[in-house]
Amino acid sequence: MPFRPRYTGLIDKYRDRLPVHDDTRIISLGEGNTPLIRLHNIPSKLSKDVEIYVKYEGLNPTGSFKDRGMTMAVTKAVEEGSKAIICASTGNTSAAAAAYAARAGITAFVLIPDGKIALGKLAQAMMHGAVVIQIKGNFDAGMQLVKEVAKEAPVTIVNSINPYRLQGQKTAAFEIVEELGRAPDFHCLPVGNAGNITAHWIGYCEYSSASGEMVTGACAYCEGHCKFAGGAIVGNRPRMLGYQAAGSAPFMRGEMVDDPETVATAIRIGHPQSWDMAWKVKEESGGWFDECTDDEILAAQKLLAESEGVFCEPASATSLAGALKDIESGKIPQGSSIVCTLTGHGLKDPDTAIKQSSAPLTTVEAELSAVKAAILENMAD
Ligand code: AN7
């Protein structure tokens, strides 16, 4: 039987497009290469005929897209001699930083908003041995503190203001183009700091011939860290659609939000770090921002889990919630192909999932008759 080469992570796969050297020690957990799942049951109930795919980033090693950026950021931190990394986080970045630091044998310091991160993410940071500092403030306050601390202590910031993060994350766009043979018409993402929407745009631009300015010149987003392959591979780029939670939607308000609030704690961010770049992405791609209420976000999360078998965390469902609204309103036209990024796994936040679950838990005696009765009662017609 022929063997396929072992998949060893996205840096090895996209080495020629990433800022690494032949002798760089790669810190990897086999991230990337996530499934692009075509939805069947949800589109069949819509009034318009569209193709919807979800890019299930929850299947990365620590359960979120952050691993794509973290493999690059930690690889470069180690290469540059750093012994410690630091981040502020709504949860997923801290989980990824903790895991990749463990893998590299360095220390991770993570600042998280006290009581406002999902339980799975806290468990990860603790298990991987990060120094977890809970602050009595939100992500934005934590980010400010991290920037100040890093000026005085020998620690490398691994939030998405670290340009290597976006370099790693752009590979998600590469994978999508390679599987579809073209870019989708629309790419929908949840937006917090807006690093990921920017990273995807960098990836699509590198893969596109339509963007003469990006393929030939210095990249406007990455301070020269990316390497342009130079070859035109596909001719189209998607419109980038960024969706925010209504209580935490600075891009909709047109200004920073001081007290962001949403059930989708991953995107409870009022002062996005990639503010200017994200506006540029919207303009260049012909996309838009919109917002979804917490109810719409949770409904989309449940719909996806119940009707497609895909479990993502609340923040991730914002991409689908937004897409469904825009399909119904006609902003996304009939016949479009759409990719929604599901940024994190549903198991990250079991509390929210159980709280909103409608399926009743039935407890019966451990006897055949009782179990049979329970089954008959719940049998679909
Ligand atoms: C599941 O972990 O910012 O717009 O500190 O965890 O690139 O910020 C998380 C962000 C979307 C938003 N979905 O991405 C953190 C953090 C999930 C996330 C986002 C996050 P960006």
What is the DSSP track for 163-223? HHHHHHHTHHHHHHHHHHSS--SEEEEE-SSSHHHHHHHHHHHHTBSS-HHHHHS--TTTT
Please give the distance, rounded to the nearest whole angstrom, from the Cα atom of residue 66 to the centre of ligand 1. Answer: 8
Is 9 exposed, middle or buried (CB count within 10 Å of its CB: 0-12, 13-18, 19+)?
A: buried
Is the CB of residue 194 less than 8 Å from the CB of residue 251? yes
pLDDT in tens, 221-231: 555 555 444 44
Structure confidence at residue 291 (pLDDT): 98
Of 135, 221, 215, the closest CA to residue 170 belongs to 221
pLDDT in tens, 5-28: 899 999 999 999 999 999 999 999
Coil, strand or helix at 108:
strand
Structure confidence at residue 222 (pLDDT): 54
Query: Residue 338 and residue 184: Cα distance in Å, rounded?
Result: 6
Token representation of residue 234: 């596909």
Structure confidence at residue 221 (pLDDT): 57
Of 56, 315, 345, the closest CA to residue 191 belongs to 315
Structure confidence at residue 231 (pLDDT): 43
Please give the distance, rounded to the nearest whole angstrom, from the Cα atom of residue 192 to the centre of ligand 1. Answer: 5
Ligand 1 atom nearest to 272, measured from its CA: 8
Which pTM does this prediction carry?
A: 0.93
Ligand 1 atom nearest to 278, measured from its CA: 4
Contacts of 118 (CB under 8 A, 6+ apart): 91, 265, 266, 313, 348, 349, 351, 352
As beta bridge partners, residue 339 has 53, 187
Strands 51-56 and 156-157: unpaired
| Residue nearest (by alpha carbon) to ligand 1 atom 20 | 266
As beta bridge partners, residue 55 has 36, 341
Token representation of residue 224: 């020269």
* Percent residues over pLDDT 70 in the chain: 93
Ligand 1 atom nearest to 194, measured from its CA: 4
pLDDT in tens, the chain (381 residues): 678 889 999 999 999 999 999 999 999 999 999 999 999 999 999 999 999 999 999 999 999 999 999 999 999 999 999 999 999 999 999 999 999 999 999 999 999 999 999 999 999 999 999 999 999 999 999 999 999 999 999 999 999 999 999 999 999 999 999 999 999 999 999 999 999 999 999 999 988 854 433 333 345 555 555 544 444 456 789 999 999 999 999 999 999 999 999 999 999 999 999 999 999 999 999 999 999 999 999 999 999 999 999 999 999 999 999 999 999 999 999 999 999 999 999 999 999 999 988 777 889 999 999 999 999 988 876
Query: Residue 246 and residue 322: Cα distance in Å, rounded?
Result: 11
Is the CB of residue 297 less than 8 Å from the CB of residue 266? no
Please give the distance, rounded to the nearest whole angstrom, from the Cα atom of residue 267 to the centre of ligand 1. Answer: 6
Please give the distance, rounded to the nearest whole angstrom, from the Cα atom of residue 196 to the centre of ligand 1. Answer: 8
Residue recorded with tokens 């220390």:
107
For a pocket test of ligand 1, which of 92, 135, 167, 188 has the largest count of ligand atoms closer than 8 A to its C-beta?
Answer: 92
Structure confidence at residue 235 (pLDDT): 74
For a pocket test of ligand 1, which of 196, 197, 240 has the largest count of ligand atoms closer than 8 A to its C-beta?
Answer: 196
Give kind and range of the element (H or E) at residue 71: helix 66-79
HEC profile of 278-327:
HHHHHHHHCCEEEEECHHHHHHHHHHHHHHHCCCECHHHHHHHHHHHHHH
Structure confidence at residue 83 (pLDDT): 98
As beta bridge partners, residue 51 has 337
Strand order across the beta sheet in which 337-342 lies: 36-38, 51-56, 337-342, 186-190, 239-245, 288-292
Ligand 1 atom nearest to 87, measured from its CA: 5
Contacts of 45 (CB under 8 A, 6+ apart): none
Please give the distance, rounded to the nearest whole angstrom, from the Cα atom of residue 297 to the centre of ligand 1. Answer: 15
Structure confidence at residue 209 (pLDDT): 56
Please give the distance, rounded to the nearest whole angstrom, from the Cα atom of residue 361 to the centre of ligand 1. Answer: 32
Please give the distance, rounded to the nearest whole angstrom, from the Cα atom of residue 188 to the centre of ligand 1. Answer: 14
Strands 84-88 and 36-38: unpaired
| Residue nearest (by alpha carbon) to ligand 1 atom 18 | 266
Please give the distance, rounded to the nearest whole angstrom, from the Cα atom of residue 92 to the centre of ligand 1. Answer: 7
Identify each DSSP E strand in the chain by its residue range. 36-38, 51-56, 84-88, 107-113, 131-135, 156-157, 186-190, 239-245, 288-292, 337-342
Please give the distance, rounded to the nearest whole angstrom, from the Cα atom of residue 90 to the centre of ligand 1. Answer: 7
Residue recorded with tokens 């016949």:
335
Is 93 exposed, middle or buried (CB count within 10 Å of its CB: 0-12, 13-18, 19+)?
A: buried
Contacts of 10 (CB under 8 A, 6+ apart): 28, 31, 32, 33, 68, 71, 168, 171
For a pocket test of ligand 1, which of 68, 124, 187, 193 has the largest count of ligand atoms closer than 8 A to its C-beta?
Answer: 193
Please give the distance, rounded to the nearest whole angstrom, from the Cα atom of residue 273 to the centre of ligand 1. Answer: 11
Ligand 1 atom nearest to 313, measured from its CA: 1
| Residue nearest (by alpha carbon) to ligand 1 atom 9 | 266
For a pocket test of ligand 1, which of 138, 273, 343 has the largest count of ligand atoms closer than 8 A to its C-beta?
Answer: 343
Please give the distance, rounded to the nearest whole angstrom, from the Cα atom of residue 61 to the centre of ligand 1. Answer: 16
Angle at the Cα of 263 from the Cα atoms of 320 and 62, rounded to 5 degrees:
70
Is the CB of residue 215 less than 8 Å from the CB of residue 234? no
Q: Which residues line ligand 1 (CB under 6 A)?
A: 64, 89-93, 160, 190-196, 266-267, 313, 315-316, 343-344
